[in-house]
Amino acid sequence: MKEAIVSSNDKLTVRMTAGNKGTTGTATLTLHSGQTTGEDANDTNTFGTGKTEMKETTATFELKSRVPQTITNPAASPAAPVYALNGTFSVSAAAGASTSPLSYSSQTTSICTVPDASKNSVTMQGAGDCIVAFGQAGDNNYDAAPQVTLTVPIAKAAQTLSFSSAAPTNARYGDNYTVTTNSGGSTSTVTLAVAGNCSVSGSTVSFNAAGSCAVTASQLGDANYLDATSVTQTIPIGKANQTLAFSSTVPTNAKVGGSYRVTTTSGRSTSLVTLAATGNCSLAGSTVSFDTAGSCTVTASQKGDANYLDAADVTQTFSIAQSGSGVNIISTPNPSQPAQDVAFSVAVVQDNSKSLKAQSSLTKAVAVPTGTVTLTDGTTTLGTATLDASGNATLTVKTLTTVGAHSIVASYSGDANYPAFKSAAFTQTVSAAPVATPVPLFGEWWEKALLSLMVMMWVALGLRGRWGVKR
């Protein structure tokens, strides 16, 4: 034990130094002064103050001698961790010589935290520099270690972006597709962009034309995450279907000579609707003519274009019945005389309201009636004639001998397109023959006088020649 006594300004200071480090125990100091002060290497004890008579004073106190300690080699594992939500990493250091354990704390709690100061586990709160402080308390022999810090860089994390919606495999022009994604960890919003024959509004992609569409999803990073790698879906866009339909109702009472105007509700392509007719009918523009009895099939078609497929053909099939028949009669001469030749002209037409002339004005002439016509006068058959290529027949008779009105009826035999038909009664008038007028008597006298005159002239001429008369 060493001791030193220093006196200054009536203050007496006694310093004692232990001979060996770490020495502990008690020491007794006896002073002969009115003011006494005791002090060891670490503590200062004042055990008497005031100015007194010189007398003997004794003080007993504890003697301590502690050594400094140092924390070394701080480290993190991993040395540069990558941010993960609630992720952890560990730290370590070489402790000082005291028996006290190391303690841990964070100086950047927005970046990292130490949930338990006695444990070396650090929880990541974000990317950035995490500062961890190490501490160690002293003990009887060692002072508390000076605090040591470690800066640990926490890197931004990568984030993964993906589509949660499957790209349509049969997309067509005019369709829509709702895009959904599995976003990464950043707080940034996923954005969609398109290229090709499509557009996007919000999360809905519209296919605007046949071709292809590329949908790209992107997500920026933030304080803790890097930008996500963009992902793309490439979608083929096919042509759309189109529907063609008739808007006109199929005729239910079609007859030879009639017609039907066809109308349609077209599909969406830019192509025109075309019509075709097969069977016992014909087509001009959009008008179907019923040519002969039987059936008719009208087919409507529409081609596609750049965005639409060909429409499925649609058909209308209907029956065409026989038309009504009409028979017209004229005669020459009328009136006639008994047993005189009378020429009857008979025309078979489509119906009573139409003549052959009217028929010829149609867009397409209807079928010409074929067959025969038979003329009757009451119960008497006058004769039968075959219709010509115009549907006419001529029959000459001279059997009308009875004076008066005769009711002549023409009966048509009918054919595939026109039914058998009897005309209304036609009146043929037979008049009595005129009576011959007698030649007047003076006519015969005149003839005789003229004959006499001629004889006289002949005689006179003959005599002149004989007698040598000269002119």
- DSSP letter string, 20-83: STT--EEEEEEE-SSSEEEE-SS-EEEEE-S------EEEEEEE---B----EEEEEESSSPBP
What CATH number should be reported for the domain whose range is 245-320?
2.60.40
Higher-confidence residue of 7 and 276: namely 276
What CATH architecture applies to the domain 72-154? Sandwich (2.60)
Task: Report the alpha-carbon distance of residue 363 to residue 378 in Å, rounded.
Answer: 40
Q: Which helix (H) or strand (E) holds 453?
A: helix 441-466
The tokens describing 162, both together, are 């993906």
**Residue 337 in contact with residue 433, Cβ under 8 Å?**
yes
The 10s digit of each residue's pLDDT in 107-149 is 999 999 999 999 999 999 999 999 999 999 999 999 999 999 9
Backbone phi, then psi, for 171, in 5-degree steps? -70, 140
The 10s digit of each residue's pLDDT in 190-246 is 999 999 999 999 999 999 999 999 999 999 999 999 999 999 999 999 999 999 999
| pLDDT band at residue 175 using 50, 70 and 90 as cut-offs | very high
pLDDT at 326: 86
| pLDDT band at residue 471 using 50, 70 and 90 as cut-offs | very low
Beta bridge mates, 344: 331, 395
Is the predicted pLDDT of residue 19 greater than 60, yes or no? Answer: no
pLDDT at 359: 44
How much of the chain exceeds pLDDT 90, in percent? 71
Distance, CA of 230 to chain centre: 27
Task: Report the alpha-carbon distance of residue 423 to residue 421 in Å, rounded.
Answer: 7
Which distant-in-sequence residues (6+ apart) come within 8 Å of 255 by Cβ?
Answer: 290, 320, 321, 322, 323, 324
Query: How far are the Cα atoms of 12, 64, 441 from residue 38, in angstroms, in the given order?
Result: 9, 13, 212
pLDDT at 324: 82
Over residues 308-312, mean pLDDT: 98
The 10s digit of each residue's pLDDT in 254-301 is 999 999 999 999 999 999 999 999 999 999 999 999 999 999 999 999
Task: Report the alpha-carbon distance of residue 412 to residue 372 in Å, rounded.
Answer: 6
| pLDDT band at residue 422 using 50, 70 and 90 as cut-offs | very high
CA neighbor of 375 nearest in space, from 390, 397, 392, 353: 397
Higher-confidence residue of 31 and 217: namely 217
Over residues 325-349, mean pLDDT: 93
Is the predicted pLDDT of residue 7 greater than 60, yes or no? Answer: no
Is the predicted pLDDT of residue 344 greater than 50, yes or no? Answer: yes
Task: Report the alpha-carbon distance of residue 221 to residue 235 in Å, rounded.
Answer: 27
| pLDDT band at residue 63 using 50, 70 and 90 as cut-offs | low
**Residue 30 in contact with residue 54, Cβ under 8 Å?**
no
326-430, what's its fold?
A: Immunoglobulin-like (2.60.40)
Higher-confidence residue of 177 and 358: namely 177
Query: How far are the Cα atoms of 136, 206, 238, 245, 312 from residue 309, in angstroms, in the given order?
Result: 82, 19, 9, 15, 9
pLDDT at 355: 42
pLDDT at 447: 61
Over residues 288-315, mean pLDDT: 97
Task: Report the alpha-carbon distance of residue 37 to residue 94 in Å, rounded.
Answer: 41
Q: Quickly count: other Cβ atoms within 10 Å of residue 298's Cβ.
A: 23
CA neighbor of 140 nearest in space, from 42, 37, 61: 42
The tokens describing 402, both together, are 């009875």
| Domain 162-237 CATH class label | mainly beta
The 10s digit of each residue's pLDDT in 375-394 is 999 999 999 999 999 999 99
Q: Which of 5-14, 18-27, 213-222 has the highest mean pLDDT?
A: 213-222
The 10s digit of each residue's pLDDT in 67-88 is 999 999 999 999 999 999 999 9
In 3-state terms, the chain is what percent helix, strand and coil (to 5)? 5, 45, 45
State the average pLDDT for the chain: 85
> Any idea what DSSP says for residue 227?
P
SS3 for 331?
strand
Which distant-in-sequence residues (6+ apart) come within 8 Å of 460 by Cβ?
Answer: none
| pLDDT band at residue 40 using 50, 70 and 90 as cut-offs | very low
Is the predicted pLDDT of residue 58 greater than 90, yes or no? Answer: no
Which distant-in-sequence residues (6+ apart) come within 8 Å of 211 by Cβ?
Answer: 196, 197, 236, 237
Over residues 445-463, mean pLDDT: 60
Q: Where are the domains of the chain?
A: 2-63, 72-154, 162-237, 245-320, 326-430, 438-471
pLDDT at 466: 42
Matching fold, domains 245-320 and 326-430:
yes
| pLDDT band at residue 367 using 50, 70 and 90 as cut-offs | confident
SS3 for 325?
coil
Is the predicted pLDDT of residue 329 greater than 60, yes or no? Answer: yes
